[in-house]
A and B are shown apart, each in its own frame.
Chain A
Amino acid sequence: MKRGATIDSMRIRLLAFASASDALGASEREIELAPGSRVGDLRRELGARFPALSPLLSRLAVAIDGEIAGDALPLAEGAEVALLPPVSGG
């Protein structure tokens, strides 16, 4: 079993940018989720645990280890998951 994994939960490293970072109160947090959780489950959990994030969720893209991920994609122990608001570079 990987270090940090338990039967009851898995941990991901959550990064948040721009308004998502403001709403989360941090640019980075460790989040515990049920094993087998998918991106859609993460969105629901974040909305429940961080109410300030709730109104932003529909506008946030989610990336897993630097790749945009749809709601059906599963998360793995230790994944780096990023919350990405609409961008404004260039």
Chain B
Amino acid sequence: MRDRHDGREVAGIDYSGYEPMAERALARIEEELADATPGLRIAIVHRLGALAVGEASVAIAASSPRRSTAQEATKLALERVKREVPVWKRERYADGSSAWREEEPLATDPVPTA
């Protein structure tokens, strides 16, 4: 999590989500990645609430007999989380102001792969 946006110092970040839908989206991403990749196990957790600068918002654990498989799955999982999970972050700035970041139209289809 970065500490500046548009030149304003970020003091903290709040994450909120449409929780039942977000949980289903995370489960779907885990299941689809595991189904598509023999030997892969993967788990994704997204934290909600107030986080300090430097704290991780998402944890992804992946295991596979091949390290590159696990690494690739982790990367793809994060890309999908960013597009498919109904979670929003609000940045709180050092001057007391705050703003919602609204970045990716919510998608329910997997990110196309090359």
A residues sitting closer than 8 Å to B (CB atoms) are: 15, 17-19, 22, 59, 61, 63, 66-68, 82, 84-90
Contact = CB atoms under 8 A, between A and B. Distances in A.
A18 B18 CA distance: 10
Contact of B102 (A66, A67, A85): A85
Given A17-B18, A90-B78, 17 more contacts: A15-B18, A18-B88, A18-B90, A19-B100, A19-B102, A22-B100, A59-B105, A63-B21, A82-B18, A84-B86, A86-B106, A87-B88, A87-B106, A88-B100, A89-B57, A90-B58, A90-B82
Interface in B66-110: 78, 81-83, 85-90, 100-106, 108
A68 B102 CA distance: 17
Interface of B: 15-18, 20-22, 24, 46, 57-58, 78, 81-83, 85-90, 100-106, 108
Given A18-B100, A59-B105, A87 B24 contact: no
A89 B59 CA distance: 12
